[in-house]
Amino acid sequence: MAQLTYRDAVHAAIAQEMRRDSNVLFLGEDIAAAGGVFKTTVGLLDEFGKDRVRDTPISEQAIIGAAMGAAMTGLRPIAEIMFSDFFAVCWDLVANQIAKTRYMTDGQCSFPLVIKSANGGGSRFGAQHSQSIENWAMAIPGLKVVAPSTPGDIKGLLAASIRDPDPVLFFEQKSLYATKGEVPDDEHVIPLGKAAITREGDDVSIVALAAMVPRAEKAADILSNDHGISASVIDVRSLVPLDTKTILEDVSKTGRLVTVEENPRLCGWGAEIASIVAEELFWDLDGPIVRITTPHIPLPSADALEDAVLPSTERIVKDVLKLVD
């Protein structure tokens, strides 16, 4: 078991799958000689060569169009969109072509491809480079949506995404790239659609994703140590497919649900989970469902303002205390 950074785990997953399957190739801006703008792909060009690790023009439409064509011919491309905000530039290809062509051809064309991207705030990149867009993606039938919170999950979930027969949008939370964690040295694959309970609790279930998971875990420690409140923390990991079984079982035990999401409040993924829990467990709930989100505003670049709008550990503790009291 190695200690790797989140960014190095991205490299480990891609290298593992490229060694395993010669049909896996990788394309995107500055991913080859430069090693990626976030240094997640250093060394891949040297190991796998220019035919399988390809720099592209600065054109999201070209990158995704090439990946779509490669997948249709039997290859397993990984395409990188540098910042997830730029999905807006190629959204027609993603939402109207890749997500729908398998259905529209009655399975004659399949799309075993991964589109990976740096997602979310916390790095002071401003409104056009800091959005969390996983809620855009989960609204489109035909796409799978994954957002890991740890280096170990990065390796295991990215490997599973590359092996999946369907298109997967894989979101790497950019403020987590420097964080470290244990990553298995040998082949590591985590099935998509399985949430992880990272803390067991009896009083409240806190459901979080990506960068919000370590904040929820820290909040759970404070709630336990300072207030005697026992909180479960559930790392969703995969929004599509969504592990409703794990979430419902835990909320049924605790009677309270808090979702912590980086998305703007309107139509965030937490609203979908809240809806499912309200329908399935209404009579098991001991209080209202609480959603902790970013306000429905463009994300500011000033450090104090960005910190003020993103869900914080302190805000999670405050809202849980209000719910439990």
Tens of pLDDT, residues 259-303: 999 999 999 999 999 999 999 999 999 999 999 999 999 999 999
Same domain, 236 and 314: yes
Same domain, 263 and 208: yes
Structure tokens at 274: 């809240």
Model pLDDT, residue 97: 96
Q: Which of 183, 216, 237 delimits the end of a domain?
A: 183
Phi, psi torsion values for 272, nearest 5 degrees: -65, -45
Model pLDDT, residue 325: 81
pLDDT digits over 75-90, tens only? Answer: 999 999 999 999 999 9
Model pLDDT, residue 126: 93
Q: Is residue 200 part of a domain?
A: yes
Same domain, 10 and 151: yes
Model pLDDT, residue 1: 83
pLDDT digits over 32-66, tens only? Answer: 999 999 999 999 999 999 999 999 999 999 999 99
Same domain, 176 and 239: no
pLDDT at 73 over 90: yes
Q: Is residue 191 part of a domain?
A: no
- Across the range 316-322, mean pLDDT stands at 98
Q: Which of 140, 158, 183 delimits the end of a domain?
A: 183
Q: What is the mean pLDDT of the chain?
A: 97
Q: Domain containing 201 — which CATH number?
A: 3.40.50.920
Same domain, 45 and 150: yes
Told to judge if 188 belongs to the known catalytic residues of this protein, a careful annotator would answer no
Model pLDDT, residue 161: 98
Number of domains in the chain: 2
Q: What end-to-end distance do the CA atoms of the chain give, in Å?
A: 42
CA–CA separation, 18 vs 312, rounded Å? 38
Which residues have CB under 8 Å from 275's CB, separation 6+? none
CA–CA separation, 38 vs 222, rounded Å? 32
Same domain, 113 and 139: yes
Model pLDDT, residue 136: 95
- Across the range 14-26, mean pLDDT stands at 98
Catalytic residue among 11, 129, 188, 296: 129
DSSP for 176-191 reads GTT-EEEE-SS-----
Look up residue 279 and give its amino acid. E
pLDDT digits over 195-225, tens only? Answer: 999 999 999 999 999 999 999 999 999 999 9
Q: Is residue 188 part of a domain?
A: no
Closest by CA position to 175, among listed 122, 229, 236, 115: 122
For residues 249-266, one letter each, b for 16 or more C-beta atoms within 10 angstroms of the residue's C-beta and e for the rest, the string is ebbeebebbbbbbbbbee
Q: Is residue 257 part of a domain?
A: yes
Cα-to-chain-centroid distance, residue 156: 13
- Across the range 171-180, mean pLDDT stands at 97
- Across the range 124-141, mean pLDDT stands at 95
Domain span at 73: 2-183
Same domain, 101 and 218: no
CA–CA separation, 317 vs 220, rounded Å? 8
Same domain, 168 and 232: no
Q: What percent helix, strand, coil does the chain show, rounded to 5?
A: 40, 20, 40
